[in-house]
Amino acid sequence: GLLNPKMVAKGKKYFGSIADPNTLSNSNVQTILKSDFGAITPENSMKWDATEPSKGSFTFTNADQTVAFATNNGRLIRGHTLVWHSQLPSWVSAISDKDTLTSVIKNHVTTLMSRYKGKIYAWDVVNEIFDDSGNFRNSVFYNVLGESFVDIAFIAARAADPAAKLYINDYNLDGPGAKINSLVALVGRLKSRGVPIDGIGTQAHLILGQVGGVAAQLQVLANTGLDVAITELDIRIPKDVTSAKLAQQQTDYNTVTKACLGVSKCVGITVWGVSDANSWVDSTFPTYDSPLLWDDYFNRKLAYTGVDSAL
């Protein structure tokens, strides 16, 4: 499997995937997570809508189950995610005054991180805060608090679990341009203000044949001095899937895996799912298919060999 001594030998990087009770209920998923992955990210169970659906009322049933699976099997956990405009309950979006939103962010961050204190390797503290033009995304957090919402979240996060690595996470950081420039500039401002931040996550939801920029951009992110991680890797294939495209996908996964192995600050890779049968791509990008390492029937794809041969 992928989780083997080779991964440890190459600079102790981890190779992870996602889980939650809905996928852990499939025995194939559990078997593969145990044989091939050293880290787990809860796919949905730690998001705001899942954990604090109404103000001050927290639900942890699903997150607890995922954390228990990971810790019982000795896997690292990436906590995902604390402050995000999406999967955000409407009671949060409706807040319009700074003091209320500040205390709501602090309470949410502190409650989640305290519950799993000491069990989480890294937390995605803020997620997808820039648009593709490099401007702050139009969210309740930015609209009410400006950039300071980032400081508020990271400062609360460090206080809640000082051992957890604190990440900013985003997508479309796979090529040069305004978005990665804005993110790097923000990291510089955070550091100059003394805001605690440890890492940058690049989601890497990639498209077949368009992975050539990943290595260079990982190095751009690493040049901030922070850790970097590939946090949500998948490589989706434009329909229809052919054997030639599946072979290209093997090459692409090999390229991306080598990109992380080649950047000393890259701590690991998380693939956003096990089987093509359970990928978010089916509903989100209906003209694409088959983005992962195992097919709909839990058979290893060429993409698996692409990763394995890079390790």
| Cβ atoms of 238 and 230 closer than 8 Å | no
Q: Return the bridge partners of 144, or none.
A: none
Min CB(11)–ligand XIL separation in Å: 26
Min CB(272)–ligand XIL separation in Å: 6
| Cβ atoms of 150 and 157 closer than 8 Å | no
- Comparing CB distances to ligand XIL, the nearer of 88 and 144 is 88
- Comparing CB distances to ligand XIL, the nearer of 217 and 270 is 270
| Cβ atoms of 157 and 198 closer than 8 Å | no
Please indicate whether residue 128 is annotated as part of the active site: no
Min CB(84)–ligand XIL separation in Å: 7
- From the list 251, 238, 221, the residue with the least C-alpha distance to 286 is 238
Min CB(1)–ligand XIL separation in Å: 23
- Comparing CB distances to ligand XIL, the nearer of 151 and 232 is 232
- Comparing CB distances to ligand XIL, the nearer of 4 and 26 is 26
**Radius of gyration of the CA atoms of the chain, in A:** 19
- Return d(Cα 15, Cα 17) in angstroms, integer: 7
| Residues at the contact surface with ligand XIL, assessed by CB under 6 A | 43-44, 127, 203, 232, 280
Q: Give the DSSP per-residue string, 123-166.
A: EEEEE--B-TTSSBP--HHHHHHTTHHHHHHHHHHHHH-TTSEE
Question: In this chain, which residue has its C-beta nearest to ligand XIL?
Answer: 280
- Name 170's Cβ contacts closer than 8 Å, sequence gap at least 6: 127, 128, 129, 130, 179, 183, 201, 202, 203
- Comparing CB distances to ligand XIL, the nearer of 36 and 232 is 232
Min CB(116)–ligand XIL separation in Å: 17
List the catalytic residues.
232
